[in-house]
Amino acid sequence: AQKITQTQPGMFVQEKEAVTLDCTYDTSDPSYGLFWYKQPSSGEMIFLIYQGSYDQQNATEGRYSLNFQKARKSANLVISASQLGDSAMYFCAMREGIANAGKSTFGDGTTLTVKP
């Protein structure tokens, strides 16, 4: 079974609107971390936001927030007030156990297109 599932290959959003990118995960380890990265067409993956499995509150970083629903094993990324520069590929990733984030498992990604 896939450890990280991103069911939306592509998403469209109107500029200035909010968009939610889905991510579900599968792990039996009680300690894990969830990451979201953005990959523009330039190729560089950019860290956006992190949520630890024991964190009580949903993570937020500027216009990015993570809707963490532990019982449902979902970690959806919410981007508020979309901008044209948000058009990119978005990856959800999970680190299990106390291993370093570099051993994260990545999902297949979602391509987001922001329309003017």
Partner 1 sequence: ETGVTQTPRHLVMGMTNKKSLKCEQHLGHNAMYWYKQSAKKPLELMFVYSLEERVENNSVPSRFSPECPNSSHLFLHLHTLQPEDSALYLCASSQDYGRTGSEKLFFGSGTQLSVL
Residues in touch with partner 1 (CB under 8 A): 4, 31-33, 35, 37, 42-47, 50, 52, 91, 93, 95, 97-109
Choose between 17 and 61: whose C-beta lies nearer to partner 1. Answer: 61
Nearer to partner 1, 45 or 78 (CB): 45
- Shortest distance, CB of residue 100 to partner 1, whole angstroms? 5
Q: Which is nearer to partner 1, 28 or 116 (CB)?
A: 28
Q: Write the DSSP string, 3-51.
A: SEE---SEEEEETTS-EEE--EE----S-EEEEEEEE-TT---EEEEEE
β-bridge pairing 32-39 and 88-96: antiparallel
